[in-house]
Amino acid sequence: MAELVKLFVNGQEVEVESGKNLIDALRVVGIEIPHFCYHPALGADGNCRMCLVGIEDGRPPLVPACKTPVQEGMKVLLDAEHIKKIQRDVLEFELINHPVDCPVCDQAGECALQDYYMNYSLDDSRMQVAQVTKGKRMDFGCGVVHDQERCVLCGRCVRFTRQITKTGELGIVNRTDAARVSIFPGKPLNNRYALNIVDICPVGAMTSSDFRFRQRVWFLKKDPGICHGCSKGCAIYIDHHREKYKDDVIYRYRARTNLNVNGYFICDDGRLSYAGENENRQTSALADGAVIGFDEGIELVRERLDRARKPLMLISPDCSLEQMWAVQRIATLYGAELSGYSDNYIIDGDGDEYLINDDKAANRRGLELLEIDFSRAQFLTGLQHTDLLVNFNNDLFFGGVDEELKSLLDKTQSIAVCSHQLQVYESASIVLPTASYSEYGGTIINEDNVLQRFEKALFKNEDPKDVLEITRLLGGAINDAPHAWPGIKQSVACLADIDPQAIPAEGIKLQNSEDTNVGA
């Protein structure tokens, strides 16, 4: 925790962290300073002039808050008449050529221009000349659609491509009222983080072709979650909505700030992976291809497991720590071998130095900590000798069909507990539907050893049972995620001191990552 400084805002004393600028420091204590161009990841640019405040210490009457660090005893003026006037004036400037097409704009409801107008201006337009018209619906590439007329020229998008992705596709061309954001002719956005531009654009100038016109943002329920697209475990918001007479579906993911993991951004692959949560889902239990009741399915699985001489269980490296623990327990219960084999989740060379990892498994560290073997050799041997495979949502064909495994799977009696309809589960004689990661809560550990917790975000009309719940129905002793923790703490040394209820939003960086697991 940084040092605290005392300062005065409109005469009222507040205590804030030192080393921050006024916008960031005061936001923590609930005081908003309006701004367009400043973004904590991109630094202070000072071009929008919306954050001008007064500091009563003899400096010029107006200073930009984004470039003003907090100081002990500082007297900040936010509500003086001359400051309110400058805010109204800046907004009037911004709105001169703005189309005010909020009813058809995707940003409406989460738009800084709209919010600030309502909070700080409410003036009528005085313009009697024709507005400057510019480009609409411009395809900037990577699913980013630009509307030059809605733009306030804050330059966040331009700075993002120069500072963060270092690809520099965007620039502000022309000058005066003809100025606009543009790509260089024939060189559209071409990076794997481009859709963050839609997030950081404070207005409706940058929209996502994937999300455009699909849902009004005020209908969306915004729950925190963790992306399961790779072993980075980026913090996200899961924006979902249950329309009347329909089911709860996800409309988009957005980056959630977690300075321990992903900072302010997420990759486009992860952002668009929400679609996988909605589509191609396994929703009913099957026995030899015929739909059966879920309870009936559970009974069948129990019978088969009881009869099996040498059962083999396979768990997905995307499962939560609690689910892994619960599966490990029922594997012991049924005398089954357990594997977390998932080499196919690793796509060599796909990762980069930033937020994309080669390993597409969200919780491989969990397998390691619980000492669940994930070697190919052991899994192959197990598969050759087993008379019953129970696959807990592990997509063995993730990176493409593995012919060697496929021929073995075709010969083996298997049960699939799966969230999605995938080729790998086609050979299963019994299929049980299960929840995917937006539909249960738990903890996962990313490649950098950060433990994060996430809660159940979606509540479907027919709520699928998660892997842990299914282990309970199969006779396991773990009732729910918290119930797994006493056992986990006992067997994994580096988790011994963790209180699962008290994991902060930014997660916990686990210490002593190497060779600390004892017992199990």
Residues that bind another protein (CB under 8 A): 134, 158, 161-162, 167-178, 180, 182-187
User: How far apart are the C-alpha atoms of 46 and 35, rounded to whole Å?
Assistant: 9
Check: CB of residue 488 under 8 Å from CB of residue 322: yes
Check: CB of residue 467 under 8 Å from CB of residue 390: no
What SS3 class is residue 206?
strand
- CB of residue 412 to another protein, shortest distance in Å: 55
Block residue for tokens 């016109």 = 213
Nearer of residues 182 and 491 to another protein, judged by Cβ: 182
Block residue for tokens 């949560």 = 277
Nearer of residues 185 and 400 to another protein, judged by Cβ: 185
Query: Six-digit token pair at 165?
Result: 């992705």
Block residue for tokens 């300073």 = 33
Nearer of residues 47 and 257 to another protein, judged by Cβ: 47
Looking at residue 464, the DSSP 8-state letter turns out to be: P
Nearer of residues 126 and 175 to another protein, judged by Cβ: 175
Looking at residue 354, the DSSP 8-state letter turns out to be: S
HSE-up (13 A, CA, CB side) for residue 312 = 22
HSE-up (13 A, CA, CB side) for residue 239 = 18
Nearer of residues 148 and 342 to another protein, judged by Cβ: 148
User: How far apart are the C-alpha atoms of 407 and 402, rounded to whole Å?
Assistant: 9
HSE-up (13 A, CA, CB side) for residue 306 = 8
- CB of residue 147 to another protein, shortest distance in Å: 15
Query: Six-digit token pair at 342?
Result: 């998932």
Nearer of residues 190 and 479 to another protein, judged by Cβ: 190
- CB of residue 511 to another protein, shortest distance in Å: 42
Q: CB within 8 A of 206, min separation 6: which ones? A: 140, 144, 145, 146, 157, 197, 198
Q: Alpha carbon of 194 to those of 165, 187, 347, 349, 360: distances in Å?
A: 8, 13, 22, 20, 20
Block residue for tokens 């589960």 = 425
Check: CB of residue 108 under 8 Å from CB of residue 217: yes
- CB of residue 5 to another protein, shortest distance in Å: 35
Nearer of residues 109 and 141 to another protein, judged by Cβ: 141
- CB of residue 113 to another protein, shortest distance in Å: 23
Nearer of residues 134 and 465 to another protein, judged by Cβ: 134
Q: Alpha carbon of 252 to those of 69, 210, 216, 282, 457: distances in Å?
A: 35, 9, 12, 21, 13
Nearer of residues 169 and 359 to another protein, judged by Cβ: 169
- CB of residue 141 to another protein, shortest distance in Å: 13
Q: What is the 3-state secondary structure (H, E, C) of 356-389?
A: CCCECCCCHHHHHHCCCCCCHHHHHHHHHHCCEE
- CB of residue 79 to another protein, shortest distance in Å: 33
- CB of residue 344 to another protein, shortest distance in Å: 38
- CB of residue 269 to another protein, shortest distance in Å: 24
- CB of residue 41 to another protein, shortest distance in Å: 19
Nearer of residues 102 and 132 to another protein, judged by Cβ: 132
